[in-house]
Amino acid sequence: MKVWLLLALLLVLQALEDVAGQHPPKNKRPKEPGENRIKPANKKVKPKIPKTKDRDSADDPAPKNQSIMVQMTEKGRFQKPAATLSLAAGQTLELRCKGSKIGWSYPAYLDTFKDSRLSVKQHERYGQLTLVNSTAADTGEFSCWGQLCTGYVCTKDETRTGSTYIFFTEKGELFVPSPSYFDVVYLNPDRQAVVPCRVTVPSAKVTLHREFPAKEIPANGTDIVYDMKRGFVYLQPHSDHQGVVYCKAEAGGKSQISVKYQLLYAEVPSGPPSTTILASSNRVNSGDDLSVLCTVLGEPDVEVEFRWIYPGQKDERPVTIQDTWRLIHRGLGHTTRISQSVLTVEDLETIDAGYYICTAQNPQGQTTVAAAVAFS
């Protein structure tokens, strides 16, 4: 009996030791039910709230001036063009601008000669500009803009624009070719003057030179600066700048001389035309011939338009009107443009008596003068 009791006691002690071995150590926290278990796949997760900085940036409006221009690459892909591009002459240029009504601007050279290589089309959702067989002469600014139209009146949308300046590099052409071998640049104290030595290679080093006495003219950044998109800019022209100049470009171990430019100083200030009128005679007889001369002294590079009102106009009296202009030099290189319009009436009749009125107009305004003609 005692033996059985002893065996039972040993079995109880053994069971107690097994249970004690499963208890966690005293210095560790017992795990909570379900801890470290994989979350069910269908359990909803609360979305992460971005930080204040992230939320603010997400709510920021789009840039006010967003470029709408893209360029088609040779691989048929579209990309936003950089502010300046360099393309080899001969390449086809294709630009597109998003919008149902797009306006375009491109180098005046292409407009002046109505070049058939240029095509501008408007599609339903974008405008398209294509230039084939490009040359160094096509170098310049290409830009587009959306148009806001009310009926037939359209205005430029300043928030939807795009532009890029493109250098078309061509072998043997460091300068953008000029249509002439000699050009005139007028120096006016009221505005900047530009010697248009533009290059086809952005990295070209360009210098300005006077022909006589032969010397380099420094572009010091104060009086004269160089802008590769415009040329040498005279910030404050004066009479000392006049003379014959040319530019020299160096790139890739090669150099080239530009065409020559005659700098002429204009002494007439900007403004509406300074106009005078003079009749060949203010007292006439029947059967006489009459000439009335309208003259404008102005800036050398400012064109003037003339309009006439004369007594026999309502009766469709035949007259002859001839417009001419020429440059005159007033010493020390000062230059003035004389624009003239002559109205001639032959074999005068009584209906030709009255006021002959001439209106001269330039970009700054217009001036009207009159001459009275009466029969003796």
CATH, residue 141: 2.60.40.10
pLDDT tens digits along 280-335: 988 999 999 999 999 998 877 789 999 999 999 998 999 999 999 988 765 445 56
Q: Could you tell me if residue 279 is inside a domain? A: yes
Same domain, 105 and 195: no
Secondary structure string (H, E, C) spanning the chain? CHHHHHHHHHHHHHHHHHHHHCCCCCCCCCCCCCCCCCCCCCCCCCCCCCCHHHHHHHHCCCCCCEECEEEECCCCCEECCCCEEEEECCCCEEEEEECCCEEEECCHHHHHCCCCCEEEEECCCEEEEEECCCCHHHCEEEEEEEEEEECCEEEEEEEEEEEEEEEEEECCECECCCCCCEEEEEECCCCCEEECCCECCCCCEEEEEECCCCEEECCCCCCEEEECCCEEEECCCCHHHCEEEEEEEEECCEEEECCEEEEEEECCCCCCCEEEEEECCCEECCCCCEEEEEEEEECCCCCCEEEEECHHHCCCCCCEEEEEEEEEECCCCEEEEEEEEEEEECCCCHHHCEEEEEEEEECCEEEEEEEEEEEC
Its pTM stands at 0.59
Residue 46 lies in a domain: no
Domain boundary among 199, 234, 265: 265
Query: Domain for residue 219, yes or no?
Result: yes
The verdict on 230 and 305 lying in the same domain is no
Averaged over successive runs of 10 residues, the pLDDT of the chain (376 residues) comes to 58 57 51 49 53 46 72 87 93 94 88 78 94 93 92 86 95 86 81 91 94 89 90 90 92 91 75 87 92 88 92 92 82 70 94 94 91 90
Q: How many domains does the chain have?
A: 3
Do the domain assignments include residue 19? no
User: Do the domain assignments include residue 290?
Assistant: yes
pLDDT at 54: 46
Whether 145 and 105 share a structural domain? yes
Shared-domain flag, residues 159 and 225: no
Pick from 116, 139, 169: which residue ends a domain?
169
User: Do residues 189 and 228 share a domain?
Assistant: yes
User: Do 309 and 243 belong together in one domain?
Assistant: no
**Does residue 288 form part of some domain?**
yes
Asked, for residue 300, whether it belongs to a domain, the answer is yes
Same domain, 352 and 289: yes
Is the same domain home to 186 and 138? no
| Final residue of a structural domain among 169, 192, 226 | 169
Find all residues with CB under 8 Å of 208, minimum gap 6, and list them. Answer: 195, 197, 216, 217, 219, 224, 226, 232, 245, 246, 247
**Same domain for 223 and 206:** yes
Is residue 282 domain-shared with residue 261, that is, in the same domain? no
User: Is residue 47 included in any domain, yes or no?
Assistant: no
What domain range is 196 assigned to?
A: 182-265
Same domain for 246 and 297: no
